[in-house]
Amino acid sequence: MAQKQITTGYKPRAPQKEIHELVKTNRFTVVVAHRRMGKTVCAINQLIHSALNCEKDNPRYAYVAPTYNQAKRIAWDYLLEYTRPLGGKANIAELRVDFMGRRISLYGADNPDSLRGIYLDGCVLDEVGQINPSLFTEIVRPALSDRLGYCVAMGTPKGQNHFKDLRDRGEKKDGWELLEFKSSQTALLDEGELKAAYKEMGEDKFNQEFECSFSAPVEGSYYSKLINELEAKNQICDIPRDELARTFTGWDLGMSDSTSIWVAQIVNKEIRLVDFVENHGVGLDYYVNWLREHDWMFATHILPHDVAVRELGTGLSRKEVLEESGLSVTIAPKLTVMDGIQAARRILPRCWFDPKVKLGLDALRNYKRVYDEKRAVFHDRPFHDWASHASDAFRYLAVGLDDAPSEAWSKPLEINNTWIV
């Protein structure tokens, strides 16, 4: 009896075929794609095809969007549509489909803990420029290790961030392979439509969305334009540590969220951002040890006002705990978020950033206003995502420096040098 053939109905276009072919032979692939190229459909069908051809027991695959709601809104219907002919059984509560002993799940990068402790045979990170880069290094990469799974990182550019770095690594074949699809090359979209879009969007936005340009500022970003100006002035560069400079740190303390710390040295009127740390799910002792190991204990540590609240369990505030650890803590003035953002914008032109703070700098570039999709407008309040923690810490640093006496900025440390001969 002839074996019955099952088709999902997916008919890949030329760029999608290129992606499928490259994934066959490479574990790590970067795809930079223009809008409306069909990358989400391609991603879902890549996962389905891989699952069907996986010979390992209980294959597991994942599609990850920047948020859980985006994963559900953008990819869920496609997953249902293309697995229905395969007898897929959907679990909408967990956004997963099981078929033929295989499983494909949808996740949001806004809940990284949902990905911890699992194994993966393959994964697609969609709109990777809007996803915390630590999600891949700390969670996805280990999940792929024991079964030698693959990862496809794809998206449309959103300014100079870690997605741009990943793209450059792919171009250099530094552990990743690159595919780039500009609308002028794929010829998938109507030429008249592209001309109309160019007229309505303007050159920068059009080039970002349709020509894969990373040079445009992040839309709605509070700081990306200012940071691009710093980059043009070569203020993002290697910065030597100055042992005599006044040193400050700015903290954002998370309870269930991440904690971020910036380290800044003040030399004349320059604010030199020379170190940065961010982590999740660890106690205050982790950050104190980090400061000690990197020799930043002596700094003036600027923290948000809620650090003075006493906790029920210990009866101590986090300020008191840190002071008992040997830190000199000052509390940032209590301002509105928008006033704090303005303080950050005021100090940015004087800032210099070392490559060691890249994760924090990427967060600043991506810190943006809330976008109302129904009204197509930005609200003047920050969107809370992976970029918020580092940006809040920078805001507290800015407010603290803004409040500090101006002579403290460039005053050298008082050192008893009578023993020097």
* pLDDT score at 371: 83
Supply the CATH number for residue 201's domain.
3.40.50.300
> Model confidence over 330-344: pLDDT tens digits?
999 999 999 999 999
Please check whether residues 201 and 293 belong to one and the same domain: no
* pLDDT score at 175: 92
Please check whether residues 248 and 108 belong to one and the same domain: no
Residue 31 phi, psi dihedral angles, 5° rounding: -120, 115
Specify if 219 maps to a domain: no
- The confidence band for 30, taking pLDDT boundaries of 50, 70 and 90, is very high
* pLDDT score at 346: 96
Specify if 130 maps to a domain: yes
* pLDDT score at 387: 92
> Model confidence over 369-392: pLDDT tens digits?
998 777 778 888 999 889 999 999
Residue that wins the pLDDT comparison between 417 and 158? 158
* Residue 63 token pair: 């599609």
The helix-helix angle for 14-25 and 39-53 (nearest 10°) equals: 40
pLDDT above 60 (res 6): yes
* pLDDT score at 302: 97
Burial 382-418 (b: 16+ CB within 10 A, else e): beebbbbbbbbbbbbbbbbbbebeeeebeeeeeeeee
**Among the listed residues 178, 180, 150, 151, the one whose alpha carbon sits nearest the alpha carbon of residue 166:** 178
- Measured CA to CA, the distance from residue 332 to residue 393 in angstroms comes to 11
Question: How much is the average pLDDT of 306-311?
Answer: 80
pLDDT above 70 (res 354): yes
Please check whether residues 164 and 85 belong to one and the same domain: yes
Specify if 315 maps to a domain: yes
> Model confidence over 70-126: pLDDT tens digits?
999 999 999 999 999 999 999 999 999 999 999 999 999 999 999 999 999 999 999
* pLDDT score at 249: 98
What is the number of structural domains in the chain? 2
* pLDDT score at 312: 54
* pLDDT score at 4: 57
Question: How much is the average pLDDT of 314-319?
Answer: 82
Per DSSP, the residues of 307-353 read GGSBPTTTS-BHHHHHHHTT-EEEEPP---HHHHHHHHHHHGGGEEE
pLDDT above 90 (res 417): no
Parent domain of 349: 227-410
**Among the listed residues 272, 335, 256, 326, the one whose alpha carbon sits nearest the alpha carbon of residue 298:** 326
CB neighbourhood size of 33 (10 A): 24
Specify if 5 maps to a domain: no
Please check whether residues 203 and 235 belong to one and the same domain: no
CB neighbourhood size of 232 (10 A): 9
Please check whether residues 113 and 249 belong to one and the same domain: no
Q: Please, what is the average pLDDT of the chain?
A: 90
Specify if 80 maps to a domain: yes
pLDDT above 60 (res 15): yes
Please check whether residues 179 and 44 belong to one and the same domain: yes
pLDDT above 70 (res 411): no
* pLDDT score at 41: 97
pLDDT above 90 (res 167): yes
> Model confidence over 248-296: pLDDT tens digits?
999 999 866 789 999 999 999 999 999 999 998 888 999 999 999 999 9
> Model confidence over 137-150: pLDDT tens digits?
999 999 999 999 99
Please check whether residues 253 and 299 belong to one and the same domain: yes
Question: How much is the average pLDDT of 46-61?
Answer: 96
* pLDDT score at 415: 34
Please check whether residues 170 and 314 belong to one and the same domain: no
Specify if 58 maps to a domain: yes
Three-class DSSP category at 85: helix
- Measured CA to CA, the distance from residue 112 to residue 222 in angstroms comes to 25
Supply the CATH number for residue 266's domain.
3.30.420.280
- Residues 6 or more apart in contact with residue 73 via CB below 8 angstroms: none
pLDDT above 80 (res 5): no
Question: How much is the average pLDDT of 218-222?
Answer: 87
Please check whether residues 137 and 34 belong to one and the same domain: yes
**31 contacts 179 by C-beta, under 8 angstroms:** yes
pLDDT above 70 (res 218): yes
Please check whether residues 206 and 103 belong to one and the same domain: yes
- The confidence band for 402, taking pLDDT boundaries of 50, 70 and 90, is confident
Specify if 418 maps to a domain: no
Please check whether residues 172 and 235 belong to one and the same domain: no
Please check whether residues 37 and 181 belong to one and the same domain: yes
Specify if 54 maps to a domain: yes
- Measured CA to CA, the distance from residue 375 to residue 331 in angstroms comes to 39
